[in-house]
Amino acid sequence: MPVLHNRISNEQLKAQLLAETEPRTTISFYKYFTIVDPKATRDALYQGFSRLAVFGRVYLAHEGINAQISVPQSRVGAFREFLYSFDPALNNLRLNIALDDDGKSFWVLRMKVRDRIVADGIDDPTFDASNVGEYLKAAEVNAMLDDPDAVFIDMRNHYEYEVGHFENALEIPADTFRDQLPKAVEMMEAHKDKKIVMYCTGGIRCEKASAWMKHKGFNKVWHIEGGIIEYARRAREQGLPVRFIGKNFVFDERMGERISEDVIAHCHQCGTPCDTHTNCKNDGCHLLFIQCPACAEKYQGCCSEPCQEESALPEEEQRRRRAGRENGNKIFNKSRGRLNIRPGIPDPE
């Protein structure tokens, strides 16, 4: 059995990526379908993806697959053929191609088996995740945006909504997808006569959310096919007005795709218009926050003066200070005035 994990450091892997001369294409996809043996499926996919030099993050569970990857441009066709032939359920699967792509989104392939491909907190044996709302294509989305009886619900987290969203879309004030589901039901309980349109980055969260809303008795439920990524791509191809305002947060090293030129967020340090996410350079913090170029220079990429001072200390002293401290990626949540502790670049929960 070949080795199914990496033995090279992240620094070496990043260096190898930067040394590549062939451009890469960033792709995301998901599919809710039954996987009898997720571990065996992971191993087989890992070997196939590795042969095609695929990098990225792939989650598998009994309920399906969720992936964000990059593929050398010359191998995109071979990748598509491999994926489509791997399982009948994946044949002709929609692949969301990144809109604003520098090809440097991932530098390693990681595959993990989870209980769910999206953590939803649902513990209801009667829930049918396949009973989803109707898909909306780009032109239909624009028509719904002009319908006074339609309500758009953003099924993403605050830090995503903050930098970009559809016109007049509702933000669900919850920190994770599992908390958003009951909150969305609660918020819309008095508006069951309304047309509910749900959306997210690539479609995986809003598809399940649409099924949950139907399970809770809502009958007029839609969700945007392929999420923001597919909507923006198709709208541009068809010459339609792109009604998403700002930037689409993505879960890789890019941290964002520019959809419109509007900058609707602000630097979390000085308040100037800005929608560039970054992680605090202090290894003892790694806060995910919005920082303008002037503050990046002033604070040397850190989120605060204490972090700036700590990051300038000798490495041994930094390690001593970090010992026993709860570390990981904190997310600045300006709307609720507090920080949320989450590891790494956050998953789309």
Percent of the chain with pLDDT over 90: 64
| CB 88 within 8 Å of CB 50 | no
Q: Does residue 232 sit in the same domain as residue 283?
A: no
Q: Does residue 281 sit in the same domain as residue 334?
A: yes
**Residue 40 domain-assigned (yes or no):** yes
- Tell me what pLDDT residue 86 has: 96
Q: How confident is the model at residue 2 (pLDDT cuts 50, 70, 90)?
A: very low
290 vs 323 pLDDT, higher one? 290
200 classed as catalytic: yes
Q: How confident is the model at residue 12 (pLDDT cuts 50, 70, 90)?
A: low
| Amino acid at position 153, single letter | I
The CA angle 293-299-300, to the nearest 5 degrees, is 80
**Mean predicted confidence (pLDDT) in 37-56:** 95
Structure tokens at 231: 């909507």
CA 341/CA 327 separation, integer angstroms = 8
**Mean predicted confidence (pLDDT) in 223-250:** 94
- pTM of structure: 0.77
Q: How confident is the model at residue 13 (pLDDT cuts 50, 70, 90)?
A: low
Structure tokens at 169: 């879309």
- Tell me what pLDDT residue 335 has: 41
Q: Report the side by side order of strands in the sheet with 96-97.
A: 96-97, 24-32, 64-72, 55-61, 109-113
**Residue 176 domain-assigned (yes or no):** yes
| CB 133 within 8 Å of CB 199 | no
**Residue 118 domain-assigned (yes or no):** no
pLDDT tens-place string over residues 95-130:
988 877 666 778 789 999 999 898 888 989 899 888
- Tell me what pLDDT residue 336 has: 41
Structure tokens at 332: 């600045």
256 vs 329 pLDDT, higher one? 256
**Residue 23 domain-assigned (yes or no):** yes
| CB 218 within 8 Å of CB 211 | no
Q: Does residue 164 sit in the same domain as residue 222?
A: yes
Which string of b and e fits 161-200 if b means at least 16 CB within 10 Å? bbbbbbeebbbbebbbbeebbeebbeebeeeeeebbbbbb
Q: Does residue 100 sit in the same domain as residue 19?
A: yes
- Tell me what pLDDT residue 129 has: 84
CATH number of the structural domain spanning residue 223:
3.40.250.10
Q: Does residue 138 sit in the same domain as residue 240?
A: yes
CB atoms within 10 A of CB 256: 18
- Tell me what pLDDT residue 118 has: 87
Q: Tell me which of 200, 274, 285, 303 is the catalytic residue.
A: 200
Is the pLDDT reported for residue 272 higher than 60?
yes
CA 331/CA 187 separation, integer angstroms = 24
Give the DSSP letter of residue 191: G
Q: Does residue 318 sit in the same domain as residue 285?
A: yes
CATH number of the structural domain spanning residue 56:
3.30.70.100
Give the DSSP letter of residue 266: B
**Residue 129 domain-assigned (yes or no):** no
| E strand or H helix that includes residue 14 | helix 10-19
| CB 69 within 8 Å of CB 106 | yes
**Residue 124 domain-assigned (yes or no):** no
Q: Does residue 240 sit in the same domain as residue 306?
A: no
- Tell me what pLDDT residue 234 has: 94
Q: Does residue 179 sit in the same domain as residue 237?
A: yes
pLDDT tens-place string over residues 157-214:
999 999 999 999 999 988 789 999 999 999 999 888 999 999 999 888 999 999 999 9
**Residue 128 domain-assigned (yes or no):** no
| CB 85 within 8 Å of CB 77 | no
Q: What total number of domains does the chain contain?
A: 3
Give the DSSP letter of residue 103: S
Is the pLDDT reported for residue 5 higher than 90?
no
**Residue 281 domain-assigned (yes or no):** yes
**Mean predicted confidence (pLDDT) in 320-327:** 72
Is the pLDDT reported for residue 278 higher than 80?
yes
**Mean predicted confidence (pLDDT) in 234-258:** 90
Among 246, 281, 307, identify where a domain stops. Answer: 246
Q: How confident is the model at residue 250 (pLDDT cuts 50, 70, 90)?
A: confident
Q: How confident is the model at residue 72 (pLDDT cuts 50, 70, 90)?
A: very high
120 vs 5 pLDDT, higher one? 120
pLDDT tens-place string over residues 259-268:
999 999 999 9
Domain ranges, residue 34: 10-113
- Tell me what pLDDT residue 320 has: 86
- Tell me what pLDDT residue 342 has: 40
